[in-house]
A and B are shown apart, each in its own frame.
Chain A
Amino acid sequence: AQSVTQLGSHVSVSEGALVLLRCNYSSSVPPYLFWYVQYPNQGLQLLLKYTTGATLVKGINGFEAEFKKSETSFHLTKPSAHMSDAAEYFCAALNQAGTALIFGKGTTLSVSS
């Protein structure tokens, strides 16, 4: 079955700490992977994506993610959290047919001062 799993529905960090949001995908989906961010009462904004090429992908707002095929993972990181990073984050993968995105259940990131 095609699926995307986000480990941890809620992650809390202190301002300045490392942010690590985990995402694993089923091996049956093609390796086209995305991270989206959703601020309260807003739509989804693309943070970064992996399609082909370099496995370390840099996105907006200082986020990056590494595609690891052997681990079927695409974890999102940021070296130093900022209060403005508090939001919900979604990992997504293109489905096998290439017609739509399959989403994980989301991880809410809280940042405390």
Chain B
Amino acid sequence: NAGVTQTPKFQVLKTGQSMTLQCAQDMNHNSMYWYRQDPGMGLRLIYYSASEGTTDKGEVPNGYNVSRLNKREFSLRLESAAPSQTSVYFCASRRLTGKAAGNTIYFGEGSWLTVV
């Protein structure tokens, strides 16, 4: 049972380059998320997709775009990478959005991105 799978795990980019982080979940979850983790900042929400066909901005969306390709896959794109986007990126998924009890969010293993 793979859960939430992210690729690549490590990537070094030059300033101005573009790249896409891929995420797939095999739990038939409806909602998917992209967070970034920076030292001393905790995790901050970049974008989320409450269900297939919808996407919404989170706390720190600038410089990113997302695509909910289908129910399983949710990609994050950096169009023109900047050093400030050096971070660890986590994809996550959840069965349903809303306040349903027992509705845990499951995380992938993370993608370490360095922009030089």
Query: Which single residue of chain A is at the shortest CB-CB distance from B44?
Result: A103
* B99-A103 in contact (CB<8A): no
B contact residues, range: 20 to 34
List chain B residues, Cβ under 8 A from A92.
43
List chain B residues, Cβ under 8 A from A45.
107
A42-B110, A43-B108 are known contacts. Are A103 and B50 too (CB-CB below 8 A)? no
A43-B110, A46-B104 are known contacts. Are A9 and B40 too (CB-CB below 8 A)? yes
Report the count of interface residues on A (CB-CB < 8 A). 26
A32-B99, A52-B101 are known contacts. Are A103 and B42 too (CB-CB below 8 A)? yes
A106 to B88, CA, bound (A): 15
Chain B residues with a Cβ under 8 A of chain A: 4, 31, 33, 35, 40-45, 48, 50, 56, 58, 90, 97-110
Chain A residues with a Cβ under 8 A of chain B: 6, 9, 30, 32, 34, 36, 41-46, 49, 51-52, 90, 92, 94, 98-101, 103-106
